[in-house]
Chains A and B, each alone.
Chain A
Amino acid sequence: MLEARQISKRFPGVVALDGVSLALFPGEVHALVGENGAGKSTLIKVFTGVHRPDGGELIYNGSPVAFGTPLDAQRAGISTIYQEVNLVPMMSVARNLMLGREPRGRLGVIDTAAMYREAERILAGYGVVTDVRRPLRTLGMGVQQMVALARAVAIDARVVIMDEPTSSLEPREVETLFSVIGKLKDDGIAVVYVSHRLDELYEVCDRVTVLRDGRVAHTGPLAGLERLKLISLMLGRDLDEVKSGGLTRFSRDRRRARERDGAPPAVRAEGLTRRQVLRGVDVSVWPGEVVGLGGLLGAGRSETAKAIVGALPLDAGRVLVAGLPLRTGSTTAAVRAGVALLPEDRKAEGIIPELSVRENIALAALPSLSRAGVVSDAKIDKVVEVFMRRLRIKAASPHQPVQELSGGNQQKVLLARWLAIRPKILLLDEPTRGIDVGAKAEVQALVDELAEEGLGVLLISSDLEELVEGADRILVLREGAVVGELSGDDVTEDKIMASIAERGAESDG
């Protein structure tokens, strides 16, 4: 149906794709996997006309095509959900959903009432209930991603491409997504599915293509391909090497209660309150402890993290760092006190796209990397070098604009930015979002290591497994309030789910 033949694409300093061939058939879900920077997103952008290939050709419905713009591809029936949510943040949810095909009344004026009704109806089909008049940016990443999905599917597509569609979704929404994919499949639509979550691949995909350093390392049916084998193909390591535990995640013997001997918590938030968002959240994290925040989307997890660093105006509540109150509403004060937040929305709140990798890493630590207001290049170079190596950030050079990096590598740059300030408390909102299996293990090991060194970590993850393996203690949030706490042996996926559900039933009834 859609076929790539010997596609090559070079960027200054990197060969992103080198003779990649891939064929898609109607009604199949094709997994596209590979390490960060392997070229997955680039291949997709070639399919959709964002990038023009330097070599090779695309065959669509039996004839060669060259899409000049993403719009051309869309008109031809190739619909895409990009890795970085690609909607208009200031516009209402409804406008975003219906963009370009709004219901028109007489005189060609947009019929807003009809548009809102239609948008609500479509979203309800995806289990999303929200005020469709609100600007998109006021919603969490997960809901935004669902809007992007609904939009992509609503366009009459023959091929639907999804670049890490589940990276900010909850298990429940992932289910919805999968049922949508099932429907697409039945309709004979071809789906390309990019993800770093292997479980998902095995659940929905029929065939798989593994990219490594811009080349196809393997292509074939997924069923029967052993999981470890797949990982070894992605990483380019021996199967044995992978098996021998290169992939342990959180390695520490977890969930022992920390001895606190009267010391104040590294960070303590008391009664964080904000109308309609947070209702008196109390959180404490002791040095060396990893506290997980569980809950559904919109439960107030990201908001709690933002409130702690002073990025969310509060109606009430305060934050103490090592027993001392923090000036409210000042991220500057929080960072100076060693509180760092790795935000969920890396494109909007994380990277400074035009600045180099180097400057992005040094950003938060600038005051300590300068003398009398003049930055020290030598110090910056050293820090940047250390972290680029430690996190294995793949970039042509430290001076490459960060927007040119692959999604996962951008995430690592942000982690490096925070590690460079030597934080006391690290608030991680979806830290492994979009990073590959290898790097994920590394990041998790790093979190472990830092916790051992006495760092306090607050971990937010929609990946329950990650939460369970990573956290010593878990607080479950619902509708902006802490509704449960799990520690010790109670920290299991089932118990978390139960806690969310049980309280849910209570408050629903």
Chain B
Amino acid sequence: MAEAVAPSGRRVLAWAQEYGVYAAVGVLLLFNVLFTPHFLDVANFRTQLVQVAPIVIVSLGMALVIGTQGIDLSVGSVMALAAALVALYLGYGAWPALLVALVGGAVSGTAGGALVAYVGVQPIVATLALLVGVRGLANVLVPQLVEFRNPDLIALGSSSLYGVPVIVVIAAVLTLLMAFVVRRTTFGRQVVAIGGNRAASELSGLPVRRVLLLVYVVSGVLAALAGVLATARLQASDPTSLGLFIELSAITAVVVGGTPLSGGRIRVLSTVMGALLMQLLSATLIKHNLPQSWTQIVQAVIILAAVYATRERGTR
């Protein structure tokens, strides 16, 4: 039994699926250390991490939603809504404004979740409606770019904790929190079960609708937080363009991390690695003066490879 030999191709695939992202990130890091000048500079590292942090935060919510066989296309618009709300309520101070923005994200998530869980609308349709509607709302609230000078908010965007940018610390903490939620809480286990087989979960007495609703709320709140952090870093609220296409980056991160779109499995740390991989990839290609189109092509190849690897698991 110990010497059970699986066909080696399949074993490689299984391995690639488990650790592929980590390996790819490692290879890319190594490549950069060797061939990219100034790569090891602290400043460079900080920039990369600060840039990727909002994507990571959004991806955490996305991973949860995808784990239920859903998808959340509204995250970019929710970021914009959060930016708009922060600008509007900044007069009351940074913290109340942050709170209002998070509530905004929760409300949007509730709307999407209710449509999916209680009305039975397809997730892609429900959140597509929100993608359009919420962006519109954000633009109505704050029609153009608004700069601000609130010191608290600026500090949130640019200060550091022991040399690590606060944004990055927040993303890291949320990652650990999400990993804990998925692995160790009833909620997390129920999310995975519902994604794996909804009918069975229902018959097993799981509060399927409530859990689904909550999943979208979490995604909305995380997106809102990402919106506030991005706004804080920009030192300006820009609802017209903030978060555009971030849903695609987030979905990419989740998929590249090995979470199957068919649900029933959520890989939190790998999702973060997926986000890092894509970030590192575009940074590397830019540093080596390759055109943007190259980045896109390489990204496409990676996505296909990841989807292929996850697909294999379902069939034996």
Contacts and interface: CB of A to CB of B under 8 A. Distances in A.
Contacts of A367: 186
A342 B68 CA distance: 23
A354 B264 contact: yes
Given A366-B186, A367-B186, A374-B185, A354 B196 contact: yes
A366 B188 CA distance: 11
Contacts of B196: 352-355
A14 B189 CA distance: 28
Interface in B204-240: 204-207
A253 interface: no
A366 B189 contact: yes
Contacts of B187: 373
B4 A332 contact: no
A349 B203 contact: yes
A352 B186 CA distance: 16
Interface string A417-440: 100000000000000000000000
Interface in B139-190: 184-187, 189-190
Interface residues of B, number: 27
A343 B203 contact: yes
Contacts of A164: none
A311 interface: yes
A341 B205 CA distance: 10
Nearest to B205: A335
B199 interface: yes
B34 interface: no
A12 B4 contact: yes
B197 A351 contact: yes
A220 to B, nearest CB: 30
Interface string A343-378: 100001111111100010011101100100111000
B204 A10 contact: no
A51 B316 CA distance: 9
Contacts of A348: 197, 199-200
A331 B202 contact: yes
Nearest to B11: A12
Contacts of B316: 51
B186 A351 contact: no
B131 to A, nearest CB: 27
A308 to B, nearest CB: 12
Interface in A314-354: 331-332, 334-336, 341, 343, 348-354
B50 to A, nearest CB: 32
Interface centre among B4, B202, B205 (most CB of A within 10 A): B205
Interface centre among A352, A367, A374 (most CB of B within 10 A): A352
Contacts of B206: 331-332, 363-364
A118 B216 CA distance: 46
A354 B206 CA distance: 17
A355 B265 CA distance: 8
A105 interface: no
A481 interface: no
B87 interface: no
A364 B192 contact: no
B314 to A, nearest CB: 8
A54 interface: yes
Contacts of B197: 348-349, 351-353
Contact of B204 (A11, A373, A417): A417
A13 interface: yes
Nearest to B14: A12
A199 B135 CA distance: 67
Contacts of B264: 352-355
Contacts of B203: 309, 311, 331, 341, 343, 349-350
B190 A366 contact: yes
A332 B210 CA distance: 11
A363 B201 contact: yes
A90 to B, nearest CB: 13
Contact of B205 (A54, A336, A374, A375): A336
A15 interface: yes
Contact of A335 (B189, B192, B204): B204
A12 B14 CA distance: 12
B42 interface: no
A354 B266 CA distance: 11
B43 interface: no
A353 B196 CA distance: 7
A414 B196 CA distance: 15
Contacts of B119: none
Contacts of B201: 352, 363
A375 B214 CA distance: 18
Nearest to A343: B203
A334 B205 contact: yes
B20 to A, nearest CB: 18
A350 B206 CA distance: 13
Given A10-B5, A352-B196, A375 B189 contact: yes
B216 to A, nearest CB: 19
B204 A363 contact: yes
A352 B1 CA distance: 26
Contacts of A331: 202-206
B261 interface: no
B250 interface: no
B6 A12 contact: yes
Given A331-B205, A354-B265, A375 B199 contact: no
Given A311-B203, A335-B205, A352-B193, A373 B186 contact: yes
Nearest to B6: A12
A311 B202 contact: yes
Contacts of A359: 189, 192-193
A215 to B, nearest CB: 15
B186 A15 contact: no
Nearest to B187: A373
B185 to A, nearest CB: 5
Nearest to A45: B316
A349 B184 CA distance: 24
Contacts of A51: 316
Contacts of A332: 205-207
Given A332-B205, A373-B185, A417-B204, A355 B192 contact: yes
Nearest to A340: B205
29 contacts: A10-B4, A12-B4, A52-B7, A309-B203, A311-B202, A311-B203, A331-B203, A334-B205, A341-B203, A343-B203, A348-B197, A349-B197, A349-B200, A350-B200, A351-B197, A351-B200, A352-B197, A352-B200, A354-B264, A359-B189, A359-B193, A362-B189, A363-B204, A364-B204, A367-B186, A373-B186, A373-B187, A374-B186, A375-B184
Given A311-B202, A363-B204, 7 more contacts: A15-B1, A352-B196, A352-B197, A353-B197, A355-B196, A375-B184, A417-B204
| Minimum-distance CB pairs A-B, first 10 | A335-B205, A352-B196, A364-B204, A354-B264, A352-B197, A10-B4, A349-B199, A366-B186, A332-B207, A370-B186
